[in-house]
Structure 1
């Protein structure tokens, strides 16, 4: 993927569609995902400094669809 996709959920949380480093793969014990190749949906919290891998996706279009679902699901929580 030439450029990461980033969608802001609120003032400090972002959903990302991105590649991850081998270091992140190992630090988060993601061995059940087979390897660190491919695209991942990640929740970044800039306030706490967390970078949590939520899912490994089959393709860029699948990742975009997943981020769109997460964004729609989170919208009612922010409108209250």
Structure 2
């Protein structure tokens, strides 16, 4: 089975940010899934922002507005 993302690289990144933190066996998978959900919501919200301004293309200003909203949802 092929992997979608490099698990070792993700674990190294996590360890670099929190070196004293003990990680469970599949924590990298959980973090990756949350990352994908975040990106999915960000894209959907940016698309909604573009539709509200009657633009056919999502621009950086739409993503910036959407980012504020999505970060509030994921804050916790």
| Larger relative contact order (CA 8 Å, sep ≥ 6) | 1
Please say whether Structure 1 and Structure 2 have the same fold, judged by a TM-score greater than 0.5: no
Q: Which has the higher strand share?
A: 1
Bigger Rg, structure 1 or 2: 2
Relative to the length of structure 2, the TM-score reads 0.33
